[in-house]
Amino acid sequence: MKKLIVLIMSMFMLTSLVGCSGTDTPETETIKLTFWGHQNEAWNESYRAIGDSFMADNPGIEITFEFFPYDQFESKVQTSLISKEGGADMYEMWGGWGVDFASTGALAAMPDDMAANVIDQVYPSTIGALMYEGKLYGLPLEFNIENGAMLVNTQILKDNNVTVPTTWDELVSAGTKLTKVEDGLMVQKGFDFVNWDSVPYMFLSMILSTGGEYMDANGKFTLQTPEAKAALQELYDMVVVDKVTDLEGLVGGGDLEGFQQLFAGRNAIVPRGPWVISEGVVSFGLEYGVDFDYVAMPWFGDKAAFAAETGWALSVNGNSPQQEAAYKFLNYFYQDEQLLAHNVAAAQIPAKISVAQDPELLTLMPFAAPLVGILEDAQFIGYFNTDQFKEAVNNTFVDLVMGTIPSVDEALVSLEEHLNTNVAK
């Protein structure tokens, strides 16, 4: 019996040793990549479609797409980059996060030859936050633009015999006329520019379009200028004097955001980026061009000028063992055909110049017309945390309108000091 057991054990050992040895026919190893993005039906479908097309051309690479609710996405990305062993190989990356992630080694730099092409072929503001010490840490997908165009509720304008304003004075005048107050409550806002993005972007655009600057060559904020004073004064007057809107978009108390209230028939004109249009069509069941329109916003000054931050991009995890394969996918994504399809599906203004200037873009995305023409007028907002910047500007604006800060001059002094202490790099 003992001999039998020894024989069986010996056979087991031999079998396992054979299993460990090299085989005669080597297996092809499939490279597996994971991609993380935030949940958005149209965007997610587009990523998967491009992924499927890439995988068909590259059978040795398999990509798994995972999408997370937007409000959890940033912390999910951050936590996974920290863990160094977990997380994804590729991330949908908001440009503003690049400022924090790129400098820590959490992201993989783009190969130099690919980076050189990208830098040459995209609008500068789309890569500003993704550049660090001469290296590029993300592939820009979109030109993030919260300036230059505005939603218009065509029915409200028609009911009040107001035409779409084409100058700044017409805009303010229309805003005043289209605002309705009942029992001390603003039930309809004529020009609701008060929201987290529009106030700071309008502020900067108003400075630039009147020939001013908001930063010096050393990256310090310089706001005690006539242009900055005029800009902030105008924003203040629009709320307090002209009463085109109130502070609800920054202090809270509304059931919907300003652009959603426009879609619900409660606001007349709202400046926002083009990403809101799909919500009007899909969530509110409205018809673009009939129920609402997206038109060029007049410039405050004589010059067409605005600042833009870096928008959505694709980045590779600095700790991914498959960086080469990941960048192969990004390179595939970067082709005009894929980018155009994705930008249209996601209702994004393209970061790549050739795609933005492709006539087919306007055929597929007619609402992009007021924006495509002004992309050349943009400058990169600056290499700093834009969330902190917006918070500072918005808090100062609220304090000014509420009277906590007594004058525009004092507001600018306080804002400049805060930005240079806490925000400027």
Partner 1 sequence: MKNKKFVYFVLIPIFLHMLIFIVGPIIAGFAISMMDYNPLRDTNSFVGLANFKQLIGDPVLMKALTNTLMFVGVTVVLNIAFSLMIAQLVSIFKSNKIRAFFRMAFFLPCVAPLVASSVVWARSIYPTATGLANMMLKTIGVNPVNWLGDPNVLMWSIIVFTIWVDIGYNIILFSAGIDGIPTNFYEAAEMDGASAWHKFRFITLPLLGRTMTFVIIMTLISHFQMFAQFSVMVLKSGPQNSGLVLTSYVYKMAFELKNMGYASAIAVLLFAIIFIITLIQQKIQKVDWDY
Of 155 and 404, the one with the shorter C-beta distance to partner 1 is 404
Q: Which amino acid would we find at residue 105?
A: G
Which residue in the block uniquely carries the two structure tokens 């300003």? 258
x/- site string to partner 1, residues 53 to 92, per CB under 8 A? ---------------------xx--x--xx----------
Q: How far apart are CA 112 and CA 159, in angstroms?
A: 57
E strand or H helix that includes residue 198:
helix 198-209
Binders in 154-193 for partner 1, by CB under 8 A: 183-187
Q: Please measure the distance between the N-terminal and C-terminal CA atoms of the chain and give it in whole angstroms.
A: 79
What gap in Å lies between CA 171 and CA 163, rounded to an integer?
Answer: 10
Q: What angle do CA 215, 219, 222 make, to 5 degrees?
A: 30
- The answer to whether residue 388 forms part of the interface with partner 1 (CB under 8 A) is yes
What residues between 220 and 279 interact with partner 1 by CB under 8 A?
Answer: 247-248, 250-255, 266
Q: Number of residues interacting with partner 1: please give it, by CB under 8 A.
A: 35
Instruction: DSSP for 381-410, please give it.
Output: --SS-HHHHHHHHHHHHHHHHHTSS--HHH
Which residue lies nearer to partner 1 by CB, 343 or 394?
394
- In angstroms, rounded to a whole number, what is the distance separating the alpha carbons of residues 315 and 110? 9
CA distance linking residue 420 with residue 425, whole number of Å: 8
Instruction: Pick the closer one to partner 1 by CB: 184 or 359.
Output: 184
> What are the tokens at 33?
């990549």
The Cβ of residue 260 has, within 10 Å, a number of other Cβ atoms equal to 18
39 or 83: CB nearest partner 1: 83
> Binding residue for partner 1 (CB under 8 A) from 10, 39, 104, 357?
104
391 is a contact residue toward partner 1 (CB under 8 A): yes
* Residue among 48 and 76 whose Cβ is closer to partner 1: 76
Residue 114 Cβ, how far from partner 1 at the closest point, in Å?
24
Shortest Å distance, C-beta 289 to partner 1: 28
Does 106 bind partner 1 (CB under 8 A)? Our answer is yes
Give the interface with partner 1 as residue ranges (CB under 8 A): 74-75, 78, 81-82, 100-101, 104-106, 183-187, 196, 247-248, 250-255, 266, 385, 387-388, 391, 394-395, 398-399, 402, 404
